[in-house]
Amino acid sequence: MTTVWISRVFWIWKIFLLFQATDASHEEVLQIHYPSVTLSAQKNGYLSAQTEGGGDIHINSKGNNTSVYFDNINLLQLIEKVMSLPPVWMNHTDTGYSGNFEGGKYFSIPLNVMTPGTKNLSFEIVAGSLPPGVFLDIPNRRISGIAPDEDAEYIFTVRAKTGYGKFADAVFRFDSYELNQCEENPCHNNGVCNNTNEGKGYTCNCTGYYGERHCDTDCRLNSIGVSNKKTIPDAQLSAYLSRDQSLATEARLNSNSSSGWCGENGNAWIQVDLGSVGRVFAVTTQAGSSDKFLKSFTLSCSTDGAKFSDVMGTNTTAAYVFPSGTGALTQPLPDPATCRFVRLHPSTYKVHPCLKLELHGCVP
């Protein structure tokens, strides 16, 4: 490695006019790491240049213009180039999401900024505002403080600025959640409230026939949404041994299909994926026509789509058989079933097992 120290000559002063070097301090005002050259400067007017390639130093003077080359790199142009570059935010997502923070707890987010030419960076909030109790820790390049004890989302923009006036902005977003949201018991109908760190703040364990977020929905009367494409998309309906061109999506209750979904025989089945594990309380079936329709059926249930269990009758080891007919018929299950995947299996039918259906219950 070659190291060259140069004190105050004419061209040095020309370079240091950029930094207004006027005192005897040894504090660094510039540090540049280029692929083959490392350059640093101090306030006292001294400049250090190093190269791993053993490069030479050249001074070219033409009239009043003097150029200094180190390892074939024009140092003045290098300094001017670096001074023109803005800082760069590192490891920062497009959305600026920084995570969930529990109310009343200390947290600290790093301000990861890279700047090629100077160690001196300033930070300021240029959009939005920091949450109460949170501050910019500029010396340590962090956002630190105590997370607010409330359910809230905070979005703000931090600007990193070099001593040469170049800057770059980054958007930060973080969510805080109340430390004890169960204190006021948001769960209805004897639901039990539990604090959680999953971003919602709390969950309600519902009892009896009630469900949904706050246990305020009677699941026996609540349609899960088979008849609504927005709730249960087509991709969540499937079937086995469908008749001819019959599609599982034709099984939506009150659809325009003339016959609904039709199975080939009693070995066929139609399946509904609820999207997540929920509780099923009742089922509604309806015939598409009087020529071919379902007369009776059984249900099976699964939480993982691999292992299914029959919906059993009360005090029996046999699968419960539901009657069906030409009109819409809603029937409760003997006991609520906890599942994500529900299959309907035809038992008896006229010509072919054709049907439309809806499920009733609660799905988180």
| Residue 77 sits in the same domain as residue 212 | no
Phi, psi of 184 (to 5 degrees): -95, 5
> Under the phi-then-psi rule, with left for phi > 0, alpha for psi from -120 to 50, and beta for the rest, what region is 206?
beta
Tokens 């029937």: give the residue: 331
Longest dimension (CA), the chain: 107
Q: Per the domain annotation, does 351 fall within a domain?
A: yes
Domain boundaries, position 340: 219-362
Count of helix runs (H) and strand runs (E) in the chain: 2, 28
Looking up residue 64, the CATH number of its domain turns out to be: 3.30.310
What pTM was computed for the model?
0.54
Give the whole-angstrom CA distance, residue 42 versus residue 118: 12
DSSP state of 298: E
3-state secondary structure of 234: helix
| Residue 97 sits in the same domain as residue 210 | no
| Residue 159 sits in the same domain as residue 117 | yes
Out of 177, 200, 235, a domain closes at 177
Q: Which helix (H) or strand (E) holds 321?
A: none
pLDDT in tens, the chain (364 residues): 333 343 333 333 333 333 333 444 556 556 665 555 666 666 665 666 666 655 555 555 455 565 666 656 676 776 666 666 777 787 666 556 677 787 888 888 888 887 765 567 889 999 998 988 899 998 888 899 988 877 788 988 989 888 778 888 888 888 887 777 787 888 999 999 987 755 456 889 998 999 998 999 999 989 999 999 999 999 999 999 999 889 999 999 978 888 899 999 999 999 999 999 999 999 999 998 889 999 999 999 999 999 999 999 988 889 999 999 999 999 999 999 999 999 999 999 999 999 999 999 999 8
Q: How many CB atoms lie within 10 A of CB 326?
A: 15
What is the number of structural domains in the chain?
4
| Residue 93 sits in the same domain as residue 124 | yes
| Residue 32 sits in the same domain as residue 152 | no
Give the whole-angstrom CA distance, residue 291 versus residue 297: 18
Task: Give the tokens for residue 133.
Answer: 């109790």
What is the full DSSP assignment across 161-192? EETTS-EEEEEEEEEEE-TTGGGG----TTPE
Q: Per the domain annotation, does 270 fall within a domain?
A: yes
| Residue 77 sits in the same domain as residue 200 | no
3-state secondary structure of 77: helix
| Cβ-Cβ contacts under 8 Å for 120 (sequence gap 6 or more) | 29, 162, 163
Give the whole-angstrom CA distance, residue 227 versus residue 179: 39
Q: How many CB atoms lie within 10 A of CB 26?
A: 9
CA angle 178, 182, 185 (to 5 degrees): 135
Looking up residue 132, the CATH number of its domain turns out to be: 2.60.40.10
